[in-house]
Amino acid sequence: MNEEIPIKKFIRIALITTPFLGITGATPGLLSPLFSYKRLLTGFCFIMLFATIIWAVNIFLLYQSYKWKAIQKIWLRFIISAILACIIAIVVFDIVRNISPLPAMELPALKNLPPPKGRPFFFPVFQSLAIDVIVFILIELIMLRESRNRMALENEQLKTANLEAKINSLKEQLHPHFLFNSLSTLKSLISRSPEKAELYLERLAELLRFSTNNSGAVVPLKDEIALCISYLNMQKVRFSDALEFGVNIPEEIMRNIAIPVYSLQQLAENAIKHNSLTRESPLKIEIVYNS
């Protein structure tokens, strides 16, 4: 078990639930013949304090379960927490009874009642078990949600790593293939049109400069557009009026979106490779953004 305990989240949930448990636990006091606002407030504070202790006990057991394999099982940890909750309830209830006995003589209607026999521990023990069950379930739900979030994050990281590996493999295949085709085109242009060959070489240098400056798997859309335009300008030297292209993307979109590197450039290369380009029927490439 290598999961981290979300202490801050536990504290937030505890701060929300302990007042609610205090109100719920103190509400039966409204029906008691010994009802008073002082006793109601005392019961509320006592149950809040007890719920806080139960939270601390369960978090401590959860923390220790990372060290002791014996209590890593959920059912065993729950039994231990329930036993501790009952012991704490009995001890605290006994202390409270000894310090502040029930003021039966203060109420005229209760003067003739016999004093309570034994130690009525049943109700506080039942109450402590109920609080422990609620706290234990909340902790397990939080841990389950944290585990699911962690697994989702790990899956996304694996997908990203896989995508980066594919892009790196694509880049390794793309460069030799692209350079071979570009140098072959440059060779033919040198013999036919030295001026076009020089311009073609300048465009190729711009493209290679971009490749060396951007080694990441994902780049801003603006940079990828610049790379694609450099490639299309280089092909424009080769095909002249047989190739037309344009870009219609808002500047804000290009700044705020990132895409895999060479994705647009490869699409443009495939469009040129698998289509016929003539002056009578030029190839038109339009890069647009559809929301």
Per-position DSSP letters for 82-121, written without gaps between them: HHHHHHHHHHHHHHHHHHS---GGGSGGGTTSPPPPS---
Stretch 130-156: mean pLDDT: 88
Mean pLDDT of all residues in 54-61:
88
Structure confidence at residue 115 as a pLDDT band (50, 70, 90): very low
Element (H, E) at 219: strand 218-220
What mean pLDDT do residues 10-32 have?
Answer: 77
Mean pLDDT of 47-59: 87
Backbone angles phi, psi at 290, to 5 degrees: -115, 115
Tokens at residue 85, please?
């909750």
Q: Are the C-beta atoms of residues 258 and 167 closer than 8 Å to each other?
A: no
Is the pLDDT at 49 greater than 80, yes or no? yes
Mapped onto helix, strand or coil, the DSSP state of residue 283 is: strand
Q: What is the pLDDT of residue 125?
A: 79
| Token pair recorded at residue 146 | 């944290």
DSSP reduced 3-state for 154: helix
| 152-181: average pLDDT | 73
What tens digit of pLDDT does each residue of 207-252 get? 777 766 665 667 888 888 888 888 888 888 878 889 999 988 888 8
Please give the average per-residue pLDDT across 240-268, as a whole number: 86
- Contact (CB, 8 A) for 62 and 73: no
Quick: pLDDT tens for 66-78: 787 777 788 888 8
DSSP label at residue 3: P
Examine the pLDDT at 163 and tell me if it is beyond 70: yes
Categorize the per-residue pLDDT at 106 as very low, low, confident or very high, splitting at 50, 70 and 90: very low
pLDDT at position 111 is 42
* Residue 263 near residue 224 (C-beta atoms within 8 A): yes
| Whole-angstrom distance, CA of residue 21 vs CA of residue 48 | 7
Residues contacting 209, CB < 8 A, separation 6+: none
Residue 184's pLDDT is what? 81
Which of these ranges, 176-180, 271-275, 278-282, has the smallest mean pLDDT?
Answer: 176-180
Give the model's confidence band at 28: pLDDT under 50 very low, under 70 low, under 90 confident, else very high.
low
Token digits for 242?
């047989």
Which residue is associated with the tokens 């034994």? 118
Higher per-residue pLDDT: 57 or 168: 57
Is residue 118's pLDDT more than 50? no
> Of 222, 208, 219, which Cα lies nearest the Cα of 175?
208
Position 175 scores a pLDDT of 61
Q: Which amino acid is at 56?
A: A
- Distance, in Å, from the CA atom of 205 to the CA atom of 202, rounded to the nearest integer, reads 5
